[in-house]
Structure 1
């Protein structure tokens, strides 16, 4: 998984802030143990609330998916399409001959797409029909 520059910067900021808060709580414990107890309680409540807000934002954005964006990736020699693959001739001396067949069920337009074809693979987010795939292949 690739981490963007903004996410990396945010992670560093959070790590530094957590370190500073921890050092402050340790210093408060040394200076005044009674105050450190109350300070740690308030700090824990604030951090818990911040974690709740961040988790709700992540769930609302759909953090496990492509985040509403179209992501289409292909490995070396691979073919990937974010939609339909119709009437293509892929490979040496391949040909598509004749009329197209009726389309099947497509995914709903506007939905996020995450397609990945590995090395020498073929992947599509939509219909794959009426194609000649491979050397010397023909579709009639």
Structure 2
């Protein structure tokens, strides 16, 4: 799962801060072991509190709004798929006849793209190929 630009910046900032704090604790351990013990205890408490706050914020966040979350919704009579819709006959007397078309390249947009079909609509997060849609339609 790929992270967005802002998420990457946050990850790098956290990694650099963690590296600097770790190096500082190692230097403190060499210079004054008693001070390093107290400093590590305070640092651990601060990191634990920050992790607790982050976990609460993550739990309170609405589902599907983060990176990688995808909502797939369809209105009354609608059809929605998070991926590809291929080789379907939708509607009375609809037929899909013949060999399937080779699939094309995956669409851009990534995993976080929401998919929503309105009333009687069709929507897909991927490709829509080889379908017969509508009453009596036929795909050859």
Going from structure 1 to structure 2, the CA distance change for 1:61 and 1:28 (only over 3 Å counts) comes to same
- The residue aligned with 2:24 is 24
| Rounded Cα–Cα distance in structure 1 between residues aligned with 2:20 and 2:130 | 49
Q: CA deviation at 1:121?
A: 8.7
Q: CA deviation at 1:66?
A: 1.9
Deviation by residue 1:77-123 (Cα, 9 ceiling, x = unmatched)? 99x950345277xxxxxxxxxxxxxxxxxxxxxxxxxx74467498x
| Rounded Cα–Cα distance in structure 1 between residues aligned with 2:41 and 2:136 | 66
Going from structure 1 to structure 2, the CA distance change for 1:19 and 1:81 (only over 3 Å counts) comes to closer
Where 1:3 maps in the other structure, the secondary structure is coil
| Rounded Cα–Cα distance in structure 1 between residues aligned with 2:135 and 2:105 | 13
- The residue aligned with 2:94 is none
- The residue aligned with 1:67 is 65
| Rounded Cα–Cα distance in structure 1 between residues aligned with 2:130 and 2:23 | 52
| Rounded Cα–Cα distance in structure 1 between residues aligned with 2:56 and 2:130 | 37
Going from structure 1 to structure 2, the CA distance change for 1:86 and 1:20 (only over 3 Å counts) comes to same
| Rounded Cα–Cα distance in structure 1 between residues aligned with 2:24 and 2:128 | 52
Aligned residues: 100
| Rounded Cα–Cα distance in structure 2 between residues aligned with 1:85 and 1:77 | 29
8 Å Cα contact 2:83/2:125 also seen in 1:
yes
Where 1:47 maps in the other structure, the secondary structure is helix
- The residue aligned with 2:44 is 44
Going from structure 1 to structure 2, the CA distance change for 1:77 and 1:4 (only over 3 Å counts) comes to closer
